[in-house]
Structure formats: structure tokens, C-alpha cells
């Protein structure tokens, strides 16, 4: 009777390796395969997990210890537990998960909540260029990205729509959004609303103490001396640049 080794079982039970690691500009890209393959059954998490482990532990390691990793998750729907498992597998190889790039809003929320930087790509193409740079208010964006967490230093959020944070945005963190930015807490980091050029976008916060504000191509900084009392405020663009006003009773001014 032929004896089958454990390595043979592993090799035969796992689909061909599709998880890729690629060195790029001082970081390592961990690229997951498409979630579904043409004419094949959808890839499942267990298969993906085994592929990742094999890729990390098999062959010659071409990365330096403590190299930051950007996870290119694309359309994979990953929760906090799965992201933690990926981070732990990387840590075993002396790698550190830093950023998650995804087209799934749920994955973006899970990654931000776990403390990773997030770059959410659009899964839907814009209809035309006017939606990116036009000056008429009310043009559609993608669904808002809602985060119920505090953004710690080093975390960056990128989203092709509006970003809403229920929590603080700490110094050293940043939000870059094509739409509005709403912070239901203390805004003390860097924020850029209307990143693709839409001047009508707003930045709103319960406590406005940013290191820097940007709306479209306009830039402003918070006063060096903080006010004695804080209240909800809105940052908006006028013909003279960015202005900050009280949130209560705010009315958007007309731009020429």
C-alpha cells in the first residue's frame, strides 16, 4: 500500500497558489486572488489561509524584517477576526500589516476598527468627469463610509465618498475623502474633503482642532491658540478660501 505523506495531502487539497507577495518601494504588497474564479467554485477562506501560509513559509524570503505590508484585498469580504489572522501570520514572518486596500465597505470598516490604514477603492465608475470636478452641489458620491472608532496616530483613511467617524481623529491620523468629512468627536488630525476637486464639500466636527484642513485645493490650519470653549463647527470654502463657522444654523454660502 502506498503511503501518502502530510505534505502530499496539503499540496493536493489546496488549489494552485494565487496569493502573491510583491516588493514595492520599501513595502510588501500582499495581493489576494479574485474572490471568484471563472468556471470555478468561489475561493473559500480556508483555501486562502493555506495559500497564504505556504507563500510566507515556502521558498526564499526576499523581504527584510519589520517590512510594512499593504494588503490588497479587492472584493474580499473580511471581518476583524480574519484580518487578525492575516496580521498574526505576517507577524510570524516578522512582517507588519499596515494598510488594507479594498472595494468592500464592510472590509474597510473592519480594518479601520482594527487600527489599520484603509484605502477604499470605488467598485462603481463615476458617470462622468463633471461629478469629480463640477461645482454644482448635490452631485452623487458613493455610499458613506461610517466608522465607529477612534483613529489613532499613523492610521490613514481614503474613501471615494463621504466619511463619517463616530469617535476622535487623533493627531498623526488622516482622512482623505472625495465627499464630506463628519467627525462626531474631536478632530485633531489631518483631513482633506473634496479630494478630487469638489469645492462644495464640508468638514464638520464636534471639536475642531485639526493639524491641517483641506477642501478641494484650498488649505487652512487651526488657530495656534485654541478657543476657551468648543462647539460644533463646519469648515467650508468661500471665494476667499476656507472659513470655519458654527454648526448650529449653518447655511452653505454660494460660490461665484
Which residue shows C-alpha cell 473559500?
44
Beta strand 233-238 pairing with 203-208: antiparallel
- Mention every residue, 6+ apart, whose C-beta is less than 8 A from residue 235: 193, 202, 203, 204, 208, 213, 215, 220, 242, 243, 244
CA-closest candidate to residue 111, choices 89, 80, 136, 77: 80
Q: Cell triple for residue 63? A: 523581504
Cα 189 → chain centroid = 15
- Give the pLDDT band of residue 69 (cuts 50, 70, 90): very high
What pLDDT, on the 0 to 100 scale, is given for residue 222?
A: 75
pTM assigned to the model: 0.79
What is d(CA 191, CA 133) in angstroms, rounded to the nearest whole number?
19
Residue 241, by phi and psi: left (phi above 0), alpha (psi -120 to 50) or beta?
left
Instruction: Report the run of H or E that residue 108 belongs to, with start and end.
Output: helix 105-113
pLDDT tens track for 170-221: 999 999 999 999 999 999 999 999 999 999 999 999 999 999 999 999 999 8
- Ranked by mean pLDDT, which of 131-145, 149-163, 212-226 comes out on top? 149-163
Phi, psi of 218 (to 5 degrees): -100, 145
Query: Which residues are bridge partners to 246 per DSSP?
Result: 233
In angstroms, the CA 115 to CA 109 distance is: 10
What confidence tier does 224 reach under pLDDT thresholds 50, 70, 90?
confident
Q: Kindly report the backbone phi and psi dihedral angles of residue 190, in degrees, each rounded to the nearest multiple of 5, phi listed first.
A: -100, 135
Cell triple for 90? 505576517
Amino acid at each position: 500500500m502506498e503511503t501518502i505523506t502530510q505534505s502530499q495531502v496539503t499540496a493536493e487539497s489546496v488549489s494552485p497558489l494565487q496569493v502573491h507577495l510583491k516588493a514595492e518601494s520599501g513595502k510588501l504588497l500582499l495581493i489576494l486572488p479574485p474572490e471568484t474564479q471563472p468556471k470555478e467554485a468561489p475561493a473559500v477562506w480556508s483555501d486562502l489561509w493555506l495559500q497564504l501560509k505556504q507563500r510566507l513559509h515556502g521558498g526564499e524570503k526576499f523581504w527584510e524584517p519589520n517590512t510594512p505590508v499593504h494588503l490588497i484585498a479587492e472584493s474580499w469580504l473580511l471581518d476583524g477576526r480574519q484580518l487578525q489572522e492575516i496580521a498574526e501570520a505576517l507577524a510570524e514572518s516578522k512582517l507588519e500589516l499596515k494598510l488594507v486596500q479594498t472595494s468592500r465597505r464592510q472590509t474597510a470598516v473592519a480594518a479601520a476598527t482594527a487600527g489599520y490604514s484603509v484605502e477604499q477603492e470605488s467598485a462603481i465608475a463615476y458617470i462622468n468627469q463633471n461629478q469629480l470636478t463640477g461645482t454644482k452641489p448635490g452631485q452623487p458620491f458613493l455610499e458613506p463610509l461610517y466608522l465607529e472608532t477612534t483613529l489613532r496616530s499613523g492610521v490613514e483613511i481614503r474613501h471615494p465618498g463621504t466619511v463619517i467617524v463616530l469617535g476622535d481623529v487623533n493627531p498623526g491620523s488622516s482622512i482623505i475623502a472625495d465627499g464630506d468629512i463628519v467627525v462626531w468627536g474631536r478632530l485633531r488630525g489631518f483631513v482633506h474633503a473634496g479630494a478630487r476637486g469638489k469645492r462644495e464639500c464640508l468638514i464638520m466636527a464636534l471639536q475642531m482642532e485639526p493639524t491641517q484642513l483641506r477642501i478641494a485645493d484650498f488649505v487652512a490650519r487651526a488657530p495656534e491658540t485654541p478657543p476657551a470653549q468648543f462647539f460644533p463647527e463646519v469648515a467650508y470654502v468661500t471665494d476667499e478660501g476656507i472659513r470655519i463657522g458654527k454648526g448650529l444654523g449653518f447655511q452653505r454660502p454660494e460660490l461665484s
